Each structure stands twice: as C-alpha cells, then as structure tokens.
Amino acid sequence: MEACPLLDGVDPKAFIADKAYDVDPLIETLEARQIIPVIPSRKNRCNPRKISFQLYKNRNIIERFFARLKQFRGIATRYDKLQSTFLAAVQLVSAILEIN
C-alpha cells in the first residue's frame, strides 16, 4: 500500500485511480479520512462498489498531462540531482505546457 504515505501531506476531496489501486486497506484508509475513492472495482470483486464515472473521466486529463510532461528529456530521465531543482524544472515545464 504505497499510496497511503503520499496522502499524508495533502487533504484531497477525491482519490482518482485505476483498477490496480482497488485494495481494501487503501479504500478503508480513504474512507476513514473522508476522501471519496473513485476507483473502479476489479472483475473478481464479489461486491463491486459504485463510483462516479463523471469524476473518473477526469483521470484521462491527468494521464495526458503526465504523458506530455515526460516528453521533456530532462524531466523523464531526471537529470537534476537536487529535489528542489527537479521541482523547479517540473514547474517550469508545466507552465510552458499550460501556455500552449
């Protein structure tokens, strides 16, 4: 359950993910923190959950943004050694992508 430590510093209203994140411990953690899990159920789940597919459609926007972000060689290969420098590069490239 690698996603839980990433949620410690943020307070989202919803958690949008694909079927790979359909695990009970993660969903229980999200519900305990009152975060809406927008994760489609796997085929083998006995009791599939209902999700808002209207919210799930937004996942496509995020996926396309990361695909465009990875087209920049310095971001994809992470040439920057320092976390602050890498974050600055990601912010700069994000601003460039937003302008276009």
Say if residue 69 is in the same domain as residue 86: yes
What's the CA gap between 64 and 79, in Å, rounded? 22
Domains identified in the chain, total number = 2
Contacts for 34-42: CB closer than 8 Å, 24+ residues apart: 35/7, 38/14, 39/15
| Residue stretches of the chain with pLDDT short of 50 | none
Q: Residue 23 sits in which domain range?
A: 1-56
Strand partners, 14: 36
Six-digit token string for 3 = 């996603």
What's the confidence (pLDDT) of residue 1?
Answer: 63
Say if residue 31 is in the same domain as residue 65: no
Say if residue 44 is in the same domain as residue 1: yes
- Residue 15 φ/ψ, nearest 5 degrees: -120, 105
Say if residue 70 is in the same domain as residue 31: no
